[in-house]
Amino acid sequence: MNTNFMPVAEPIAKLIEEFNKLPGIGPKSAQRLTYYLLQVPAEKAEALAEAITAVKEKLSLCSICFNITDSDPCVICRDEERDHTKICVVEEPIDILPLERTKKYKGLYHVLHGVIAPSDGIGPEELKFKELLSRLNDGLVTEVILATNPNLEGEATAMYLQRLIAPLGIRITRLARGLPYGGDLEYADDVTLSRALEGRQEM
């Protein structure tokens, strides 16, 4: 978004430009957000700035599942009431949120931080595959649920993982086809996700 010719003060133009870089925020939304912040009390704007800074400074990756956390291990990995015999593999940390909303899954997670995408130069070495395999070596895990997104890259990643895990004799399941092909977990509704979890299929 070119703000060089916008008839506004430079700080306003800069903030509009930064908001416009966010996913899902177009030029008009960026302008609305900027002018909203101009109208709110200073302490509200400062609270937003502090929250953004805290996200960058106080968060890290869980050393077990690689979810984003402010403590290590994360709250899910250290929860003794969860089922530690099941690991649900997802592409990104944001994919855990809709699965947790269903309240149907009580196991653990493993975040790959991406999918195999040769066209983008992303191979297995760039993802958290080795870390997943090391978690499976203790004999405690009896099922791995592959919850990569139902698109070309997600399916290829799931098949690659299936070949890696199969020799370990661990049950491997995939979310049922309640999820539309090409969709993302992030946008699936709770009912669809619940059915996909309950109807997961052997691979």
- Does 16 reside within a domain? yes
Q: Are residues 191 and 165 in the same domain?
A: yes
Instruction: Give CA–CA dist 104/112, Å, rounded.
Output: 22
Q: Are residues 113 and 191 in the same domain?
A: yes
- Does 1 reside within a domain? no
Give the other-Cβ count within 10 Å of 113's Cβ.
14
Instruction: Give CA–CA dist 17/33, Å, rounded.
Output: 11
Instruction: Give CA–CA dist 92/46, Å, rounded.
Output: 29
Q: Are residues 43 and 79 in the same domain?
A: no
Q: Are residues 71 and 28 in the same domain?
A: no
Indicate if the pLDDT at residue 178 is higher than 60: no
Mean pLDDT of 162-167: 95
Instruction: Give CA–CA dist 149/174, Å, rounded.
Output: 10
Mean pLDDT of 155-167: 94
What Rg value do the Cα atoms of the chain yield, rounded?
21
Domain span at residue 31 reads 10-57
Per residue in 116-160, pLDDT (tens digit) is: 998 889 999 999 999 999 999 988 999 999 999 888 899 999 999
Instruction: Give CA–CA dist 52/59, Å, rounded.
Output: 11
Q: Are residues 78 and 42 in the same domain?
A: no
The CATH number of the domain holding residue 15 is: 1.10.8.420
- Does 5 reside within a domain? no
Q: At which of 57, 74, 95 does a domain end?
A: 57
Per residue in 19-74, pLDDT (tens digit) is: 999 999 999 999 999 999 999 999 999 999 999 999 999 999 999 999 999 999 99
Which pLDDT belongs to residue 177?
61
**How far is CA 69 from each of CA 46, 97, 111, 130, 150, rounded to the nearest angstrom?**
23, 13, 12, 21, 26
User: Residue-wise over 151-188: b if at least 16 C-beta within 10 A, else e?
Assistant: bebbbebbebbeebbeeeeeebbbbeebbeeeebbeeb
Q: Are residues 72 and 105 in the same domain?
A: yes
Q: Are residues 101 and 177 in the same domain?
A: yes
Q: Are residues 174 and 117 in the same domain?
A: yes
Q: Are residues 53 and 131 in the same domain?
A: no
Q: Are residues 41 and 102 in the same domain?
A: no
3-class SS of residue 19: helix
Q: Are residues 173 and 188 in the same domain?
A: yes
Q: How many domains does the chain have?
A: 2
- Does 71 reside within a domain? yes
Q: φ and ψ at 173, to 5 degrees?
A: -125, 160
